[in-house]
């Protein structure tokens, strides 16, 4: 079973077109209802009906209740749309994607060149570092992090460690 890959722009366009169609259909139906009501109003009224009642004015409480419910509905719709947009998968990469890091020799050279700079940054952060540090102590401090690596990452880290020593 293959997944259907549609860009987010295409999905947005489909949603907009569907909403415009829905609006047009409802708008057209309202005109049809108004026309039917107008035709029915032109016919003579039955004699049994009394005088037409005036529409009851809306109370302040009902107005605020309806506006509160309308605002909650709009907020819920926005929250739902934002949640879907956040959770929508990004099909350009992700877990297991291949990452081009460069040549292994360039990575080893970068690590070798930047060990001293990293120690200076630790000093700047207030860490206690010896003036002429033994880089083996620095490597020893990073071993727990490196030991937690697994698979291909662990192999790459071990290769870099061997090359830097």
Q: What is the pLDDT of residues 45-61, one digit of tens each?
A: 555 666 778 888 889 99
Number of domains in the chain: 1
Whether 115 is covered by a domain: the verdict is yes
Contact criterion met (CB below 8 Å) for 104 and 152? no
Given pLDDT bands bounded at 50, 70 and 90, which one contains residue 1? very low
Mean pLDDT to the nearest integer, 10-37: 88
CA distances from 55 to 7, 42, 126, 128 (A): 50, 20, 76, 81
Residue 42 inside a domain? The answer is no
**29, 21 in Cβ contact below 8 A?**
no
Judge whether 13 lies within some domain. no
Mean pLDDT of 14-21: 90
pLDDT on residue 101: 79
Three-class DSSP category at 132: coil
Reported as a single tens digit per residue, the pLDDT across 106-132 is 888 887 777 777 766 666 655 555 566
Q: Which range is least confidently modeled, 15-24, 70-79, 106-115?
A: 106-115
Residue 153 resides in a domain: yes
Reported as a pLDDT band with limits 50, 70 and 90, residue 81 is: very high
Determine the average pLDDT of the residues in 142-158. Answer: 70
Mean pLDDT of the chain: 77
Q: Is the pLDDT of residue 63 over 50?
A: yes
Q: How far apart are the C-alpha atoms of 163 and 108, rounded to whole Å?
A: 7
- Report yes or no on 94 lying in a domain: no
Weakest mean pLDDT among 5-9, 36-40, 96-100: 96-100
Cβ-Cβ contacts under 8 Å for 133 (sequence gap 6 or more): 119
* Domain presence at residue 133: yes
Q: Find out whether 146 and 157 touch, Cβ atoms under 8 Å.
A: yes
In a domain, 16, yes or no: no
Higher confidence at residue 73 or residue 93? 73
Range of the domain at 129: 104-164
Residue 126 Rama label (left phi>0; alpha psi -120 to 50; beta):
left
Report DSSP letters for 114-161, one per residue.
HHHHHHHHHHHTT----SS--HHHHHHHHHHHHHT--HHHHHHHHHHH
C-alpha 69/C-alpha 86 separation (Å) is 25
78 vs 45, which has greater pLDDT? 78
Q: How crowded is the C-beta side of 84, counted as CA atoms within 13 Å?
A: 9
């Amino acid at each position: 079973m293959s997944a259907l890959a549609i860009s987010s722009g295409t999905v947005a366009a489909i949603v907009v077109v569907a909403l415009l169609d829905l609006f047009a259909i409802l708008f057209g139906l309202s005109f049809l209802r108004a026309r039917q009501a107008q035709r029915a109003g032109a016919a003579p009224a039955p004699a049994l009906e009394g005088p037409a009642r005036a529409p009851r004015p809306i109370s302040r409480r009902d107005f605020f209740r309806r506006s509160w419910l309308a605002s909650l509905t709009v907020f819920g719709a926005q929250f739902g749309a934002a949640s879907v947009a956040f959770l929508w998968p990004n099909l350009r990469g992700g877990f297991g994607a291949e990452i081009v890091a460069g040549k292994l020799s360039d990575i080893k050279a970068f690590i070798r060149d930047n060990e001293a700079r990293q120690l200076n940054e630790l000093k700047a952060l207030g860490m206690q570092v010896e003036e002429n540090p033994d880089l083996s102590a620095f490597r020893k401090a990073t071993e727990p992090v490196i030991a937690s690596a697994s698979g291909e990452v662990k192999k790459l880290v071990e290769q870099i460690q061997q090359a830097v020593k």
